[in-house]
């Protein structure tokens, strides 16, 4: 939250206020990663975690490393996993990570070997539960056969529903919670007009180019209209839809501001009836989402 990673500049003071407000609201499942700001986000959480560690269920991820050219490369080799975990523990200022994820699956590294190295962290008392991110149903099954997997983190929202075909059924079969990141479509509901900051990661995502923004305008208008009829915000409508999909599903909307944190938390009180869900489905069928969620290069690292 404190770093400028992904979605442009942030206000550290407001971000810290948002963390404390999250505790007040009972929003205590916190998710970060060592690549977010190349460690800066984990370090930012440290003061609050040290004061409130028992209250927070802490998740972080490993896998992406700096490539020396201003970008990232994937490295999930078993021999570096222990060092990555130790580095995250130091930055976070904690003795144990509640949920430790592999950020991506590398086809050159057997899933069993990667998860085996992660399992050693559980045995050492450094990690409580294991997870994987953006993995296929097949990789999830291989991982779960090696060590119990508590969570699979994948993008899931009204705008990105790839997990529904195979991944969500596999999670149900194996008793794995699906943690849905970018449940608000990376801000698609609210960033259709404003210019994105120069360093905003969404500039590399086809869904946010001018043509696709224009193509998605009718869908967004329909969602805004439906939200108004339900007396909620579009973001709350999108979160309520996700919560209605599966009892084990955990959406993790990100925000830098208390105002939007409070709005997101209130989505749990928005009740969608079967007719509402049907209306949303009809809207999505009438106006399919335009634009891929990642660039071609980034998509090659997804669902392996």
What are 172's two structure tokens?
């149900």
> What count of other Cβ atoms lies within 10 Å of the Cβ of residue 24?
11
d(CA 266, CA 292): 30
100 is catalytic: no
What distances in angstroms separate CA 301 from CA 2, 107, 109, 136, 142, one per listed residue? 26, 9, 13, 11, 17
Short-list 94, 97, 91, 95, CA closest to 118? 97
Neighbours of 248 (CB within 10 A): 14
The Cα–Cα gap between 11 and 256 comes to 8
Task: Provide the 3-class DSSP secondary structure of residue 154.
Answer: strand
| Residue linked to tokens 């800066």 | 40
Sheet with 57-62, edge to edge strand ranges: 29-31, 57-62, 97-102, 127-133, 151-155, 177-181, 250-252
Summarize the chain as % helix, strand, coil (round to 5). Answer: 50, 15, 35
Give CA separation, 15 vs 48, 138, 254, 290, 296, in Å: 11, 38, 11, 32, 32
Three-state secondary-structure class, residue 246: coil
Given the residues 5, 7, 36, 294, select the one marked as catalytic: 36
Catalytic residues: 36
């Amino acid at each position: 939250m404190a770093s400028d990673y992904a979605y442009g500049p942030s206000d550290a003071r407001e971000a810290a206020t948002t963390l404390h407000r999250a505790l007040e609201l009972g929003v205590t499942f916190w998710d970060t990663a060592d690549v977010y700001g190349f460690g800066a986000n984990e370090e930012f959480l440290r003061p609050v975690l040290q004061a409130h560690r028992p209250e927070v269920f802490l998740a972080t991820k490993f896998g992406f490393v700096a490539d020396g050219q201003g970008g990232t490369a994937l490295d999930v080799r078993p021999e570096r996993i222990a060092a990555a975990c130790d580095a995250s523990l130091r930055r976070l200022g904690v003795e144990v990570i509640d949920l430790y994820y592999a950020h991506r699956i590398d086809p050159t590294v057997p899933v069993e070997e990667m998860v085996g190295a992660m399992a050693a962290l559980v045995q050492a008392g450094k990690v409580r539960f294991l997870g994987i991110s953006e993995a296929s149903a097949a990789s999830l099954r291989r991982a779960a056969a090696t060590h119990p997997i508590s969570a699979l983190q994948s993008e899931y929202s009204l705008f990105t529903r790839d997990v529904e075909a195979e991944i969500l059924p596999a999670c149900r079969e194996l008793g794995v919670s699906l943690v849905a990141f970018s449940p608000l479509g990376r801000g698609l509901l609210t960033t259709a007009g404003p210019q994105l900051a120069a360093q905003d990661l969404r500039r590399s995502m086809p869904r946010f180019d001018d043509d696709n923004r224009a193509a998605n305008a009718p869908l967004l208008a329909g969602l805004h209209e439906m939200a108004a009829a339900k007396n909620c915000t579009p973001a709350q409508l999108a979160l309520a839809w996700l919560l209605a999909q599966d009892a084990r599903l955990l959406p993790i909307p990100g925000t830098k501001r208390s105002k939007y944190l409070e709005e997101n938390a209130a989505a749990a009180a928005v009740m969608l009836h079967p007719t509402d869900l049907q209306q949303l489905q009809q809207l999505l069928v009438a106006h399919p989402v335009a634009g891929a969620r990642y660039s071609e290069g980034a998509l090659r690292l997804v669902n392996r």
